[in-house]
Amino acid sequence: MSRKLSWSDVTPRGLWLSRRKLIAGAGAGLALPRLARAADLQPNSFEEITNYNNFYEFGWGKEDPASNAGAMTIDPWSVEIAGLVERPGQYDLADLIRGQPLDEHIYRFRCVEAWSMVIPWQGFALSGLLSRIGVQPSAKYVAFQTLYRPEEMPGQRQGGIDWPYVEGLRLDEAMHPLTLLATGLYGEPMPKQNGAPVRLVVPWKYGFKSIKSIVKISLTAEQPRTTWQELQPSEYGFYANVNPEVDHPRWSQASERRIGGGLFAGREPTLPFNGYADQVASLYSGMDLRVNY
Ligand SMILES: Nc1nc2c(c(=O)[nH]1)N[C@H]1C(S)=C(S)[C@@H](COP(=O)(O)O)O[C@H]1N2
Ligand SMILES: [Mo]
């Protein structure tokens, strides 16, 4: 679910909410299955999205990022473009993304820990940025790296993870129109605990693929290393496609808990590819997704 936005009509959250109500009201005459689908994409509240986070650079607790991420300075912010690209370099973020169409994308989000949310992101397709930097024909993967700044990130002053956090996608996954670089949510600049100023969003994969606070994007010929695969390869694969038929070794992935109260609280069945199978299943035709989990 997307619609066009421009930088100038990014609205304060209050206005956004009333506009949402108008849209919901306009849909009141729809047939039932479509209403059910709209309800499924009823976004979580701003408070839920910004107070229940995984951002281990700021601690292991779900509320640690909200408490600690304020210390991260995000201005200036530059992103290094490296590897198999036509225009490598160190870019100021604003220069790198200027002119990319900033749209709203209301996506389901599924963490490997079997909880989920619906989040209204502002962002643009990663493919737009990849075309701008010029992908060389020999490139097959995209590697991403998070900020490494232990003086502002208390989690990086501890062991456990080999910092900085890194992630990667196959080039066709990175080029898919659902794959976003997100710079905001609910019409506001990206909150620090959600990965300011720019983060990846890959809605058909477990949340850990959606790397936050990106400082480097490299195009590579080899499959890049990823933080979770390196930490626990038997539990976290490179692909990490949401798959209710492949359980995590320590828990079931068949269902999920929608964060937040209200009408749709409680456990829901997890959908293959997190509900995006129609759009993305063809990327994996011929692959055994039990082996490539
Ligand atoms: N740099 C970095 N990116 C990260 C993480 C992290 O710890 N560090 N956690 C991942 C995990 S496990 C999840 S579920 C999502 C959570 O995103 P959210 O807090 O915006 O919901 O961020 C992902 N991106
Ligand atoms: Mo996660």
- pLDDT for 146: 99
Q: Is any atom of ligand 1 closer than 6 Å to the C-beta of 208?
A: yes
β-partners of residue 83 are 219
What is the position in ligand 1's atom list of the atom closest to the CA of 109? Answer: 21
Question: Is the backbone peptide bond immediately before 269 cis, with ω within 30 degrees of 0?
Answer: no
In tens, the pLDDT along 131-158 reads 999 999 999 999 999 999 999 999 999 9
Per-chain mean pLDDT for the chain: 89
Which carries the bigger pLDDT value, residue 187 or residue 9? Answer: 187
Distance 40 CA to ligand 1 centre (A): 22
Distance 238 CA to ligand 1 centre (A): 15
| pLDDT exceeds 60 at position 190 | yes
As given in the structure block, the two tokens for residue 194 are 């959600």
Q: Is any atom of ligand 1 closer than 6 Å to the C-beta of 44?
A: no
- pLDDT for 39: 59
Alpha helix segments (H runs only) across the chain: 13-26, 32-40, 46-51, 64-68, 93-97, 126-133, 171-175, 227-231, 277-280
Q: What confidence tier does 34 reach under pLDDT thresholds 50, 70, 90?
A: very low
CB 202 within 8 A of CB 125: no
Judged by its nearest atom, the ligand closest to the C-alpha of residue 200 is: 1
What is the chain's length?
Answer: 293
Domain chopping of the chain, boundaries: 7-284
Give the global pTM: 0.89
What is the position in ligand 1's atom list of the atom closest to the CA of 147? Answer: 1
CATH class of 7-284: alpha beta
Residue with tokens 């692909």: 239
CB 243 within 8 A of CB 289: yes
As given in the structure block, the two tokens for residue 191 are 């909150």
Q: What confidence tier does 261 reach under pLDDT thresholds 50, 70, 90?
A: low
Nearest residue (CA) to ligand 1, atom 4? 211
Q: Which of 6-15, 48-57, 178-187 is least confident? A: 6-15
- pLDDT for 6: 42
Nearest residue (CA) to ligand 1, atom 14? 207
Q: Is any atom of ligand 1 closer than 6 Å to the C-beta of 144?
A: no
Task: Among 54, 111, 166, say which to mutate for ligand 1: greatest number of ligand atoms within 8 Å of CB.
Answer: 54
The rounded radius of gyration (Å) of the Cα atoms in the chain is 19
What is the position in ligand 1's atom list of the atom closest to the CA of 206? Answer: 14
- pLDDT for 197: 98
Q: What confidence tier does 21 reach under pLDDT thresholds 50, 70, 90?
A: very low
Mean pLDDT confidence for 108-126: 98
Biggest CA–CA distance in the chain, Å, is 55
Q: Which of 31-40, 77-86, 107-116, 168-177 is least confident? A: 31-40
| pLDDT exceeds 60 at position 31 | no
| pLDDT exceeds 90 at position 209 | yes
Q: Is any atom of ligand 1 closer than 6 Å to the C-beta of 55?
A: yes
Q: What confidence tier does 18 reach under pLDDT thresholds 50, 70, 90?
A: very low
- pLDDT for 33: 40
Binding-site residue numbers are: 53, 56-57, 111, 146, 194, 199, 210-212
Question: Is the backbone peptide bond immediately before 197 cis, with ω within 30 degrees of 0?
Answer: yes
| pLDDT exceeds 90 at position 8 | no
Q: How far apart are the first and last CA of the chain?
A: 27
Mean pLDDT confidence for 112-131: 98
In tens, the pLDDT along 90-111 reads 999 999 999 999 999 999 999 9
- pLDDT for 11: 39
Cβ-based neighbours of 100, under 8 Å, separated by 6 or more: 124, 125, 128, 129, 181
